[in-house]
Amino acid sequence: MSDGKTIESVMEEVRRFPPSKEFSEKAYIKSMEQYREMYRQSIEDPEGFWGKIASEELHWFSKWTNLHSWDKENAIIKWFEGGKLNVSYNCLDRHLENGRKNKAAIIWQGENEDEVKTYTYQQLHTEVCRFANVLRSLGVKKGDRVSIYLPMIPELAIAMLACARIGAIHSIVFGGFSSESLKDRIADCGSKILITADGNHRGSKFVPLKANADVALEKGTSIEKVIVVNRAGAECPMEPGRDIWWHEEMAKADRSCEPVWCDAEDPLFILYTSGSTGKPKGVVHTTAGYLLGTCITFKYVFDYHENDTYWCTADIGWITGHSYIVYGPLCAGATTLMFEGIPTYPQVDRFWNIIEKFKVNIFYTAPTAIRSLMREGEKWPQSRDLSSLRVLGSVGEPINPEAWMWFHKYVGNERCPIVDTWWQTETGSLMITPLPGAITTKPGSATLPFFGVVPEVVKDDGTKAGVNEGGYLCITRPWPAIMRTVWGQHERFKEIYWTRFPGKYFTGDSARCDEDGYYWIMGRVDDVIKVSGHRIGAAEVESALVSHHAVAEAAIVPVPHPIKGEAIYAFVTLKAGVEETDQLRKELIAHVRREVGPIATPEVIQFCPGMPKTRSGKIMRRILRKVATGTAEELGDTSTLADPGIVDVLIQGSKALHRK
């Protein structure tokens, strides 16, 4: 489509799943009429709508003076300007007064079955205050950046909330990223503290986080202190003067720590995410709008009620974990389950085991996990008692109707509504999603917009697409949790999101809207690849490949994968005289894993003598995509290519690889 083609949309799904009467009666949003009425208010009177919710859902140290402003020209967005609040106060302190003091805030299940820790709101509050004091003692102040590179352990949530308590800005780097990626992210935001762990086990593998971090810090960075959590009891060299142990600092720290009252628009965190070009960008979320957006979507979309046990299986290193393991649930006073392990260890029923063990009521996961567990057969979920489940959720990539139906049948026992939630790192909170007591679902559709969200599918020329006509998904106005800027590069924020269709936020996704106004997300239209729901930029993998001495040029494209959703297919042109061997293929794969991280491992590497390019030298990815997916016969016009002969060579090369 980036090559000027229109998006074809062929999916036809006729099954419908209305909410049950029993469910709707108890839900916050009980009917389509109620949804429509609230949606109408949120659009016609945003001030009234959000003002009321913000007063009801959040604690304010002082109230805002201007509810919302939007400078379209300069892409400057503000919500609740003039208001003061503290995120950790909202997630912790106020629950100590409202009857939730001894309620479980976080239930942590370690990778080993017998490792479970529960933090009540009071206990979590104490730990957060102590760690906030540790940070303070190291000179961390409001506005300073703190990088976090931790596995899924409670210290991760504690560190986030401690930063929020003193107004420091956290930047979490997913543990599956390499030293190189960590180094780039530290350099971009100039953080002075890094929090990591000695390492952690993932299934049978050991991830040496501290050793990775040491490599990232080798050449001198802004980092002054490294705080290390002793998670695995692993061998772990500590650099005197720089590295300190979490538990030793905590033992010295005081239990009380006054929160810093932040401005509504003070940054809360930076989270790096991949786009179509260049290095990952630091998405900046601010305080009030983000917190409100995550809290209210959490409550309404998952229909959280006071005694529910809620479990989101994402990693906190991604936005889903930020918004829906930590901030949304804790702000709403929920019990959030945090799981360190993987779905297949020690065996493939781990998810079902955990649901049974903790009587989970709300379960939020990803299509890739569903597909991989579906392959193992329904006997696994069927051999566990999953009757506690009430709501199921899906996120991260389009869910194919087959996986949706399996989830519905064997996990939800045909009883639980599924909320297929569409959103992004940039959007902060859920955007297009069913409300489980109100909206009839259709497998594969994220259904209708949440309050305050105005989506529009537009064509190449910016005009609105017709019913069921595929196009680019835009959002026509800001909502409270939208990102505010790219860290240090506001121009880039404007350019990436607001210029393709002037005055509209461009999501980078394609979609269609059907005759009932339901949205069907069709996937990315930029060079972002979703591997097992992880967001990988083609540019990052390509630059990793060309940094290898044997490589002259590289281009990567997505290919469909039955479990991962998409996988990475790399075309690589070697330098003159370098031999194309399987050994080199392996070496290149290892190189990408080192440079970007294991999550970016190419599935296939095809060597080729050249790339299909336009006469101006631009690589035509459309052609590479077709070659990679074996659909090159639909190529159509290749006359704009500088060397049309290359296409046949690529097709032959791809066939030869498939025969292997």
Where do contacts with ligand WTA occur on this chain (CB under 6 A)? 273, 318-320, 395-398, 420-425, 446, 507-509, 521, 524, 530, 535
From the CB of residue 621, how many other CB atoms can be counted at a distance below 10 Å?
20
At 277 the three-state DSSP class reads coil
For ligand WTA, the closer of residues 276 and 424 by Cβ is: 424
User: 297's torsion region: left (phi>0), alpha (psi -120 to 50) or beta?
Assistant: alpha
Residue among 262 and 411 whose Cβ is closer to ligand WTA: 411
CA angle 330, 331, 334 (to 5 degrees): 45
In angstroms, give the least distance from the CB of 374 to ligand WTA.
17
Give the nearest distance from C-beta 528 to ligand WTA in angstroms. 7
Between CA 387 and CA 365 the distance in angstroms is: 17
Category of 468 on φ-ψ map: left (φ > 0), alpha (ψ -120 to 50) or beta: left
583 three-class SS: helix
Q: Which is nearer to ligand WTA, 86 or 368 (CB)?
A: 368
What stretches of 466-550 adopt beta strand conformation (E)? 471-475, 485-486, 505-513, 519-524, 528-531, 534-537
Report the residue number, 198 or 509, with the smaller CB distance to ligand WTA.
509
Q: How far is the CB of 298 from ligand WTA (least distance, A)?
A: 14
Question: Phi, psi at residue 368, to the nearest 5°?
Answer: -65, -40
Closer residue to ligand WTA, CB minimum distance, 341 or 537? 537
Please state, in angstroms and rounded to a whole number, the distance separating the CA atoms of residues 523 and 606. Answer: 24
CA–CA distance, 551 with 576 (Å, rounded to integer): 9
**509 contacts 497 by C-beta, under 8 angstroms:** no
Give least dist CB 319 to ligand WTA, A. Answer: 5
| Beta-sheet pairing, 534-537 with 528-531 | antiparallel
Q: Which lies closer to ligand WTA via its Cβ, residue 308 or residue 509?
A: 509
Q: How far is the CB of 320 from ligand WTA (least distance, A)?
A: 5
Q: Which is nearer to ligand WTA, 249 or 397 (CB)?
A: 397
Query: Which residue's CB is nearer to ligand WTA, number 78 or number 534?
Result: 534
Q: How far is the CB of 323 from ligand WTA (least distance, A)?
A: 8
In the complex, least distance from residue 422 CB atom to ligand WTA, rounded to whole angstroms: 4
Q: Return d(Cα 153, Cα 259) in angstroms, integer.
A: 24
Q: For ligand WTA, which is the closer residue by CB, 280 or 437?
A: 280
Nearest to 328 by CA among 446, 480, 448: 480
Task: Report the alpha-carbon distance of residue 269 to residue 258 in Å, rounded.
Answer: 20
Kindly state the smallest distance separating residue 509's Cβ from ligand WTA, in Å: 5
The pairing of strands 200-202 and 225-229 is unpaired
CB of 321 to ligand WTA, least distance (A): 10
- 622-628 long-range contacts (CB < 8 A, ≥24 apart) are 622/2, 622/3, 622/5, 623/647, 623/650, 624/555, 624/557, 624/569, 624/571, 624/650, 625/557, 625/558, 625/559, 627/571, 627/651, 627/654, 628/557, 628/559, 628/569, 628/571, 628/604, 628/654
Nearer to ligand WTA, 323 or 573 (CB): 323
Q: Which two tokens stand for residue 245?
A: 């142990």
CB of 2 to ligand WTA, least distance (A): 15
Q: Please provide the size of the chain in residues.
A: 660
Least Å distance between CB 558 and ligand WTA? 11
List Cα–Cα distances, 625 to 4, 214, 565, 654, in angstroms.
15, 38, 15, 11
* Closest residue to ligand WTA, based on beta-carbon distance: 425
Q: List residues bridging with 228 in a β-sheet.
A: 196, 245
| Beta carbons of 223 and 179 less than 8 angstroms apart | no
Kindly state the smallest distance separating residue 248's Cβ from ligand WTA, in Å: 36
Toward ligand WTA, which CB reaches closer, 121 or 327? 327
Smallest distance from ligand WTA to CB 38, Å? 22
Shortest reach from residue 508's CB to ligand WTA, in Å? 6
Q: What are phi and psi of 116, to 5 degrees?
A: -130, 135
What is the SS3 assignment for 188-243? Answer: HHCCCEEEEECCEEECCEEECHHHHHHHHCCCCCCCCEEEEECCCCCCCCCCCCCE
CB of 15 to ligand WTA, least distance (A): 17
Give 131 or 404: the residue with its C-beta nearer to ligand WTA. 404
CB closer to ligand WTA out of 216 and 319: 319
Of the pair 162, 528, the CB lying nearest ligand WTA is at 528
Three-state SS for 589?
helix
Radius of gyration of the chain (CA): 24
- Residue whose pair of structure tokens reads 């998952």 in the numeric block: 302
Structure tokens that stand for 298 in this block:
């959490």
Which residue, 273, 524, 518, is CA-closest to 397? 524
Of the pair 181, 654, the CB lying nearest ligand WTA is at: 181
Q: State the chain's maximal CA–CA distance in angstroms.
A: 73
CA distances from 117 to 120, 560, 574 (A): 10, 39, 52
- Kindly state the smallest distance separating residue 658's Cβ from ligand WTA, in Å: 27
Please say which residue, 232 or 284, places its beta carbon nearer to ligand WTA: 284
**Residue 603: how many CB atoms within 10 A of its CB?**
17
